[in-house]
Structure 1
Amino acid sequence: MGNPLVSVVIPAYNRPDTLKIAIDSVLEQTYPNIEIIICDDSTDDRVQEMLGPYLGSNPKIKYYKNEKNLFLKNWHKCYDLASGEYINYLMDDDVFQKEKIAKMIYFFNEFENITLVTSYRQTIDESGQFLPPIGATARLYDETRIFDGKVLGNLALIRCQNVIGEPTTVLFRKKDLTELYGVYKGKQYSLINDLAAWLSLLSKGKAVYIPEALSYFRRHPNQNNNTLGLKTFSEWLDIMIASRGDGFLDTNHLFKTALHSYRERVKNYHEFVEDIKQIEMILTTLD
């Protein structure tokens, strides 16, 4: 109970302007016990230079500049350096609503067996103006819900969309993530590493969904998802199959729905011919 330490961990990369906004949104949190861990994977010194005034005046902020690009390992480095009982990743182009941590930590303090708290996230543009939701960011419910984690995991899997949220969206207890961030059932996922972490957490307990916008997800032309394009789908089939080992998609109906959803997404792209063949083979065993 009380105010356990929350580590806000930021894998930074070449975006000093939006990183400043992100950091300010953490410093403005109403929750009193927060540390900020920044691991800088940038190819230049702009982030380090921007952080100078912060580092000289705020002991909450701990900054580490990588000697070489760590890519996914930078996410692990942030996590390892965090001292908090709770972890919230923050992308360097996203923003927290000022009561995010306080409203989310409440559920861990007041309810048992909570392993993941998420919320609606408001999409914003480069300048911070609100954008209409895209498919994955649409509000799931109009009221706060506490439910079995597998229900929320299944919702993402059968839609083939990360409706749970980007890394910025979710608060979790550090000890509950028993594999490295982005590793699920022994496999490191790179394109859907957030979903891999969420499934690991959701397999262990209950989830909370808050319909209020407690974070802001920035969409812009230089975003990773935009540059990766169709490749972002290439890991979905593997994670669908692996998730059944944790009790997700536990009926043939749910598994078929997820497979059909994935097949519909990729059916017109020659890069996924082998995936479609694998789906057809699996479906024959489920009939």
Structure 2
Amino acid sequence: MDHPLVSIVIPAYNRPETLKIAIDSVLEQTYSNIEIIICDDSSDNSVQEMLAAYLQKYPQIKYHKNERNLFLENWHKCFDLASGEYINYLMDDDVFDKEKIAKMLYFFNEFENITLVTSYRQTIDESGQFIPPIAATTRLYEETRIMDGKMLGNIVLTRCLNFIGEPTTVLFRKKDLLERFGIYKGKQYSLINDLAAWLSLLSRGKAVYIPEALSYFRRHPNQNNNILGLKAFSEWLDIIIASREDGFLDTNELYKTALQSYELRVRGYKQFEEDRKRIKKILTTLD
């Protein structure tokens, strides 16, 4: 069996305690041909100091401290520095199951035209305890499924929920991501950059969904999505509209469902008045 190099890329920022747990979960993988790329956007040296012992012991860990805060460019830096045939982002507050990479690579090795492998992800709290899922993290299927990428994309788009998962959840081939991570149809998405990357991958192949919890998604008060709130939802309309160019939402009925789902989610919020006008205009052209 082929044992290609897998790059686990971590855009780190000011969380040395949870980063340590994340790194340990990579080092414990049953699949061994792994490199870890850490690009540190932190405002202090706490991550660098924590990593000193790891860097002496584990040559497969490669660390880069940014001279200035790169924000989204840090994600691109991680990607560019990765040497592996496969890439899996890992958020510095999330955790891998020890068999994640081995179980996901199996599908790339055994089946053709797979561009994305994802799984159920277990939500955990600050201390690592299991907590109930939120709407987007509910288990999508009870059995493993190999499915057309556009079909999975349509499920996400028509419900305005990222069932595919956060960056930690997905394994993909580096060469299959033709645009930089978070860029879709020429637009850089900052708040749903993971979904932008997933749609790009799903437009060109098949997806695998594994019902086992192969990663653990930590929810805590300082999480970006909690801080950004509704602003994190503001990019959905643009990505719904853009997705049709790639063959998603290929019937008027699916397109209407996605637009109406978005409209329902933002109903009652004044800041989305322009979006509602855009949707109304689009819907009139579909009737």
Query: Which TM-score tier does this pair reach, normalised by the shorter chain?
Result: over 0.9
Return the offset for 1:189.
0.1
Deviation by residue 1:112-151 (Cα, 9 ceiling, x = unmatched): 0000000000000000000101000000000000010001
TM-score under structure 2 length normalisation = 1.00
The aligned amino acid for 1:220 is H
The aligned amino acid for 1:163 is F
Return the offset for 1:230.
0.4
Partner in structure 2 of residue 237 of structure 1: 237
Deviation by residue 1:31-50 (Cα, 9 ceiling, x = unmatched): 01000000000000000000
Partner in structure 2 of residue 176 of structure 1: 176
| 2:122 equivalent to 1:122 | yes
The aligned amino acid for 2:241 is I
The aligned amino acid for 1:22 is A
Identical pairs, percent: 81
The aligned amino acid for 2:10 is I
| 2:71 equivalent to 1:76 | no
Q: Which runs of 4+ in 1 moved over 4 A?
A: none
Deviation by residue 1:88-114 (Cα, 9 ceiling, x = unmatched): 000000000000000000000000000
Partner in structure 2 of residue 227 of structure 1: 227
Partner in structure 1 of residue 29 of structure 2: 29
| 2:36 equivalent to 1:58 | no
Partner in structure 2 of residue 104 of structure 1: 104
Return the offset for 1:2.
1.2
RMSD: 0.4
TM-score under structure 1 length normalisation = 1.00
Q: How far apart, CA to CA, are the structure 1 residues paired with 2:118 and 2:168?
A: 9
Partner in structure 1 of residue 91 of structure 2: 91
Q: How far apart, CA to CA, are the structure 2 residues paired with 1:69 and 1:135?
A: 32
Question: In structure 2, the residue corresponding to 1:147 is in which secondary structure?
Answer: strand
Partner in structure 2 of residue 259 of structure 1: 259
The aligned amino acid for 1:76 is H
Structure 1: gaps (5+ residues): none
Return the offset for 1:233.
1.0
Return the offset for 1:243.
0.3
Q: How far apart, CA to CA, are the structure 1 residues paired with 2:222 and 2:266?
A: 24
Deviation by residue 1:45-87 (Cα, 9 ceiling, x = unmatched): 0000000000011001000000000000000000000000000
Partner in structure 2 of residue 46 of structure 1: 46
Q: How far apart, CA to CA, are the structure 2 residues paired with 1:234 and 1:133?
A: 23
Q: How far apart, CA to CA, are the structure 1 residues paired with 2:232 and 2:66?
A: 26
